Chains A and B, each alone.
Chain A
Amino acid sequence: MIKAHIYKTLRSAAGKMELDIELNIQKGQFVTLYGPSGAGKTSTLRIIAGLLTPDKGQISVGDTTWFDKEQKINSPTQQRKIGYVFQDYALFPNMSVRKNLEYALEKKQDKNIIDELISIVELEELQNRKPETLSGGQQQRVALARALVRQPEVLLLDEPLSALDINMRSKLQDYILKVHKAYHLTTILVSHDIGEIIKMSDMIYDLKDGRIQKVGEPMSIFTNNQLSGKFQFVGDVIAISKQDVFYIVTVLIGQSVVKVVAQEKEIVNLKIGDKVIVASKAFNPVLQKIEK
């Protein structure tokens, strides 16, 4: 679906960086670009969108070539059918929620898509409000809906959830997955959040200093030893305390706090704030429905 091989010299505060990225993304895949800041994730996304022109390379989507330096093809952003969600949402402050969506309509396009999208992201109540009166999560839903009005095949998400709290993030992840499936999108997400990446993506490109370090499925990227865990969760270490001869590591998984007993050798490389996987191999976890 998306084949891209791009080179560009980027100049940033940290100095020059050579971006050299090769992507090969299947139709319908949910792909994440992961890596430290300044690795070139957003630049890669902007190049695919046509907001930034690479120095050389090719980009083709489906049967159409969007960029080819040698053949001098460089279709403008306007002609590349993509949905793009910006980190700062980029909603138009002068238009209501509904007007923001209607603005995206193409000439002669059926207006029913507006109502359909508004109902998918559950914005019916807010459709006549101005963006500035909405919360971050609500604004993000508007941005997501607006990006889908033109019915693109490719959805590009530039750290769309980084400004939201955990609760909101998890809800929006569900919205994104919902539209990804409902509209058979090929989605590229830029994200730092390992939990989010594991939950959402089929494939990860791990970027560093403008180059791809690793490509693979989430679990194989984030765990060094192949765990065949019966169950596993990703969380943040929030406390490590010594108890007699062993240690207690407190891990925040989503919104739940879990305490895990650890040996001294297990915590040597661990510090507060690290991402860890909590897994159980030997026992079957017990499931219990929570009655509301």
Chain B
Amino acid sequence: MIDWGPLILTAKLALVTTIILLAISIPLAYWLAFSKSRMKPIVETLVSMPLVLPPTVLGFYLLMAFSPGNSFGAWLQDWFGIRLIFSFSGLVIGSMMYSLPFMVNPIQSGLAGLPNSLAEASYVLGKSKMKTLFSVLLPNIKPSLLTGVVLAFAHTIGEFGVVLMIGGNIPEKTKVVSIAIYDEVEALNYTQANTYSIILFIIAFMVLLSVYMINGGYLKKFWK
């Protein structure tokens, strides 16, 4: 019988990460899409860094920063009683950074792709920027939002390096599926590893298939 713990933990991690990430990415993507600030290229680069950096680099620096032996980690522990290494909250923060570009980039290009006159028409009708964002802009980029959500979710399920660096391998706390597979292979339990792998394979396939179907317009009728 397989241990469902890692699967449930992975699903929980991906869900929490995606929800918080969505809330953070909407204002960030809005700023990136419309700002004319000189800082913009730098912020864009930072957002996209996880696409090219090995996850171990990110994990290593997070480990350093969060470690109670370090001033920032010590401050977190002393003031808030939070310890981010080898804990679920640490994993969530790591995953959010790691999956950030997958959420921000689709939303940003969706917003930038809307005609300017749409937002302007709303301002001329006396509506604030906030009202315009939520009533006019976001409802018209639903496919981009969905792409961001699905990709961030899927990417979090598939992460390994960051989790291993800052989370370790604690059952029920930080042992997600990708770690569990590695663990089973190390212990020569190929059947177990295979079960986990097939489940991940199927999930990844379904998730990406749904993104391509949405972007290809096959599911358009459900979004109108």
B127 touches A78 (CB 8 A): yes
Q: Is B139 within 8 A of A94, CB to CB?
A: yes
Say if the beta carbon of A172 comes within 8 Å of chain B: no
Determine if B2 is an interface residue (Cβ-Cβ < 8 Å). no
Asked if A51 meets B124 with Cβ closer than 8 Å, knowing A86-B117, A88-B115, A130-B224, the reply is yes
A103 to B122, CA, bound (A): 9
The residue of chain B having its C-beta at the shortest distance from the C-beta of A101 within the complex is B125
Q: Mark B33-74, 1 if CB is under 8 A from A, else 0.
A: 000000000000000000000000000000000000000000
Q: How large is the interface on B (under 10, 10 to 19, 20 to 34, 35 or more residues)?
A: 10 to 19
* Contact pick for B123, options A77, A81, A92, A94, CB 8 Å: A77
What 1/0 mask marks residues of chain B from 146 to 167 whose CB sits below 8 Å from any chain A CB? Answer: 0000000000000000000000
**How many residues in A have their beta carbons less than 8 Å from beta carbons of B?**
26
CB neighbours (8 Å) of B139 from chain A are: 94
Residue of B nearest to A156 (CB): B124
CB-CB nearest in chain B for A81: B126
Query: B219 within 8 Å of A by Cβ?
Result: no
Interface residues of B (CB under 8 A from A): 115, 117-118, 120-128, 135-136, 139-140, 224
Q: List 28 A-B contacts (CB under 8 A).
A: A49-B124, A76-B123, A77-B120, A78-B128, A79-B126, A82-B124, A84-B120, A84-B121, A84-B124, A86-B117, A88-B115, A90-B115, A90-B117, A90-B118, A92-B118, A93-B140, A94-B140, A103-B125, A103-B127, A103-B135, A104-B125, A104-B126, A106-B126, A130-B224, A146-B121, A146-B125, A147-B124, A150-B125
Q: Which residues of A contact B (CB under 8 A)?
A: 49, 51, 76-79, 81-84, 86-88, 90-94, 103-104, 106, 130, 146-147, 149-150
